[in-house]
Amino acid sequence: MYIPKHFQELNKDKLIELIGQYPFASLITHTASGIEVNHLPFYLQKKEGESALFSHIAKANPLWKTVPAGAEILIVFNGPNAYISPNYYPSKQEHGRAVPTWNYVAVHVKGTIKFLHNNENKLAVVSALTNLQEAHQPTPWSVSDAPSMYIEKMLSAIVGVEVEITSITGKWKVSQNQSLENQQGVINGLATSGEMPLTDLASIMTEAISID
């Protein structure tokens, strides 16, 4: 990912926060048959002092047979994105020198993959993923709510995924190359749309302005 310096986000806490807010990611692998992308939700957990990402795939997905343990992979987390019209810039009214762009937030995690076949490990992964997501439910469902024989059968149909992280990179392309006045114009333009991904991006931009 090409990142000009002014779009680079070095605050690791912010990158980890984004992973928690937008956990549904693209797992990108490369083998002799080319590039392969699978879409999975991940969660981050400290393991022996190091951070690792966990998820699971269907056992019918050949990925665990074609990608060797220890292979380098890339996981891409996408935050909100939006088209940015020159209409949002107050400066456009003055001199007309403006072009559109696209604002977005992305976190790229490089790491080495391994697959988990042990039932205890797989249960830990599905339980942790479930508990994180169910926290938003009015009456959180728990894996132990289902009959244990059924859960055992379901576990046998999946393979766990563990990714040991080697690097995390964040791109916050949120108008930092514009004047404060234009940044505020973009925030207003997105916020007044009322559409969720756009208002989310407006919040991220407001935070970026107030920190810098």
| Least separation in angstroms between CB 165 and a second copy | 15
How many Å apart are CA 6 and CA 196, to the nearest integer? Answer: 26
The CA–CA distances, whole Å, from 152 to 43, 120, 208 equal 22, 10, 46
97: which DSSP letter? -
Choose, by CB under 8 A, the member of 53, 116, 125, 129 that binds a second copy. 129
> Is residue 172 helix, strand or coil?
strand
How many Å apart are CA 10 and CA 167, to the nearest integer? Answer: 12
Choose, by CB under 8 A, the member of 2, 48, 167, 210 that binds a second copy. 2
Between 46 and 136, CB nearer to a second copy: 136
- Interface with a second copy includes 62 (CB under 8 A)? yes
How many Å apart are CA 126 and CA 37, to the nearest integer? Answer: 21
Choose, by CB under 8 A, the member of 45, 51, 85, 91 that binds a second copy. 85
| Least separation in angstroms between CB 108 and a second copy | 7
Of 173, 181, 190, nearest to 91 by C-alpha is 181
| Least separation in angstroms between CB 48 and a second copy | 26
- Interface with a second copy includes 137 (CB under 8 A)? yes
| Least separation in angstroms between CB 61 and a second copy | 4
- Interface with a second copy includes 16 (CB under 8 A)? no
Residues of 50-87 as b/e, b for ≥16 C-beta within 10 angstroms? ebbbbbbbeeeeebbeebeeeeebbbebebbbbebebe
Residue 102 CB coordination number (10 Å): 9
| Least separation in angstroms between CB 163 and a second copy | 14
Binding piece for a second copy, criterion CB under 8 A, among 12-20, 36-44, 111-119, 174-182: 36-44
Residue 91 CB coordination number (10 Å): 15
State how beta strands 72-84 and 34-41 pair.
unpaired
Choose, by CB under 8 A, the member of 17, 20, 83, 117 that binds a second copy. 83
- Which residues, numbered 164-203, are part of the site for a second copy (CB under 8 A)? 171, 195-197
Binding stretches for a second copy (CB under 8 A) = 1-2, 4, 24, 26, 28, 30, 34-41, 57-58, 60-63, 72-74, 76, 78, 81, 83, 85-87, 92, 96-100, 102, 104, 106, 108, 126, 129-130, 133-134, 136-137, 139, 141, 143, 145-147, 150-151, 154, 171, 195-197
